């Protein structure tokens, strides 16, 4: 089961979205195309602002929610969200989504009288958001792999300068160019992993496990929920994960496929302890307050991770882009609320495929 989110972005001629009447016409075209896919679509709310443009919320049977925003400056975003129960077919499949995107682009092109450049999430996607939600253009030339697991949309795209890139639910995760990300996360040259017991939460691309095994730890256990991610990375990102994803268990490591929280609870009940726990999971949310499902998940990971650490153990995790000051501050506030108390240090690195500087945390008991 999972919450499914599909985002469409378009750039229009700003001269066609400058007035309220023009934006209403764009909204009409968008709704008309959406109704071909969502036949029972209803308008729940709309708002027109002279300063910020147009915003509306539509729904189909109060289950699929669609938000549409038209900016004065010519940007259009359409976000489709719905809950996908286990074993059910997606409401908007990849093929259907591409057809909808093409139909929208064609209708909007007719409106403006020119070709509309789509910020595509299709065969050769080129545009992805930075951590603070700026749009970055990549030199992507090939869609190498695409599939949808029960948990997320998985893509491997090839960049001329960055190599193969792992994209999960339209967000850049790691590329063949990103050894600096893994080395900064693990504190290579600073931390001593020889003879240590390590737990990785997430890490499905295999890069962290691969690099840690070079440091001769006693044993590493990796908890990853998505088998399909590991299969894709094993085939198309072997330059960063080696052959560690070929097997699920060796004398040096074990990969457990399942919900990391469930297995953390199991380890706690067994009294199992680790020298290092790595949080290679969800990015820090961009939000004004530490509320919502993602923040609840982060707090759960904190709580269980520190129960698994030895007294002199260390929790290592990535934060977010250094430009996301408010979210990083919220994250650090959550660390300060932990009991027993913890202390933390940070390191920074410019990650090539993120095209920005990221912050990493090293957390120990105070």
CA distance 96 to 36: 11
Q: How many residues does the chain have?
A: 366
CA distance 260 to 3: 18
Say whether domain 175-365 belongs to CATH 3.40.50.150: yes
Query: Please, where in the chain does CATH 3.30.160.110 lie?
Result: 2-121
The 3 state secondary structure assigned to 246-292 is CCCECCCEEEEECCHHHHHHHHHHHCCCEEEEEEECCCCCCCCCCCC
Give the C-alpha distances (Å, rounded to integers) separating 149 from 154, 227, 248, 263, 362.
Answer: 7, 8, 19, 21, 31
Residue 280 a catalytic site member = yes
Among candidate residues 183, 182, 186, the one with its CA nearest the CA of residue 205:
182
Q: How many other CB atoms sit within 10 Å of the CB of residue 5?
A: 14
pLDDT recorded at residue 18: 84
Q: Which two tokens stand for residue 203?
A: 């890490």
Query: Please, where in the chain does CATH 3.40.50.150 lie?
Result: 175-365
pLDDT recorded at residue 170: 81
The active-site residue out of 9, 178, 205, 280 is 280
2-121 folds as Double Stranded RNA Binding Domain (3.30.160)
Query: Please, where in the chain does CATH 2.30.140.10 lie?
Result: 127-173
pLDDT recorded at residue 89: 80
CA distance 333 to 355: 27
pLDDT recorded at residue 292: 82
For domain 127-173, the CATH superfamily is Spermidine synthase, tetramerisation domain (2.30.140.10)
In which order are the strands placed within the sheet that holds 118-119?
A: 41-49, 53-60, 64-70, 75-84, 2-11, 118-119
CA distance 200 to 193: 13
Among candidate residues 275, 280, 236, 237, the one with its CA nearest the CA of residue 255:
280
Q: Which two tokens stand for residue 219?
A: 């044993």
Q: Which two tokens stand for residue 303?
A: 């709580």
Model pTM?
A: 0.69
- 281 close to 301: Cβ distance less than 8 angstroms: yes
- 309 close to 365: Cβ distance less than 8 angstroms: yes
pLDDT recorded at residue 51: 63
Mean pLDDT of successive 10-residue segments in the chain (366 residues)? Answer: 84 84 88 88 83 86 92 90 83 80 81 48 69 86 92 93 93 96 97 98 98 98 97 98 97 97 97 98 84 89 97 97 94 96 98 96 97
Q: Which two tokens stand for residue 115?
A: 């070709």
pLDDT recorded at residue 87: 74
pLDDT recorded at residue 116: 41
Rg (CA), the chain: 22
CA distance 354 to 20: 36
pLDDT recorded at residue 1: 62
Contacts of 102 (CB under 8 A, 6+ apart): none
Is the N-terminal amide bond of 340 cis, ω within 30° of 0?
yes
CA distance 191 to 159: 32
């Amino acid at each position: 089961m999972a919450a499914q989110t599909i985002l469409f972005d378009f750039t229009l001629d700003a001269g066609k979205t400058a007035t309220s009447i023009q934006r209403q016409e764009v909204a009409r075209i968008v709704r008309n195309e959406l109704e071909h896919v969502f036949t029972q679509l209803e308008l729940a709310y709309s708002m027109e602002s002279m300063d910020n443009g147009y915003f509306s919320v539509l729904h189909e049977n109060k289950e699929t929610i669609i938000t549409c925003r038209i900016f004065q400056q010519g940007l259009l975003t359409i976000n489709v969200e719905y809950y996908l129960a286990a074993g059910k077919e997606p409401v908007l499949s990849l093929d259907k989504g591409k057809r909808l995107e093409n139909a929208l682009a064609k209708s909007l092109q007719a409106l403006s009288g020119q070709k509309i450049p789509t910020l595509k999430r299709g065969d050769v996607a080129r545009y992805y958001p930075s951590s603070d939600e700026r749009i970055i253009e990549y030199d992507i030339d090939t869609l190498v792999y695409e599939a949808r697991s029960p948990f997320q949309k998985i893509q491997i795209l090839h960049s001329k300068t960055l190599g193969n890139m792992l994209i999960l639910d339209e967000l850049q995760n790691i590329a063949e160019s990103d050894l600096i990300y893994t080395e900064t996360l693990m504190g290579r040259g600073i931390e001593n992993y020889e003879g240590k017991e390590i737990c990785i939460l997430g890490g499905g691309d295999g890069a962290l496990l691969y690099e840690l095994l070079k440091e001769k730890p006693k044993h590493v256990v990796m908890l990853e929920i998505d088998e399909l991610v590991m299969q894709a990375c094993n085939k198309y990102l072997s330059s960063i994960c080696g052959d560690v994803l070929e097997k699920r268990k060796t004398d040096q490591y074990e990969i457990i496929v399942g919900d990391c929280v469930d297995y953390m609870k199991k380890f706690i009940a067994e009294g199992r302890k680790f020298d290092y726990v790595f949080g290679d999971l969800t990015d820090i949310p961009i939000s004004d307050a530490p509320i919502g499902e993602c923040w609840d998940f982060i707090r759960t990971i904190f709580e269980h991770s520190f129960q698994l650490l030895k007294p002199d153990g260390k929790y290592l995790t990535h934060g977010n882009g250094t430009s996301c000051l408010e979210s990083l501050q919220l994250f650090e506030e959550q660390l300060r609320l932990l009991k027993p108390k913890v202390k933390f240090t940070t390191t920074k690195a410019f990650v090539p495929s993120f095209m920005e500087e990221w912050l990493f945390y090293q957390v120990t008991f105070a």
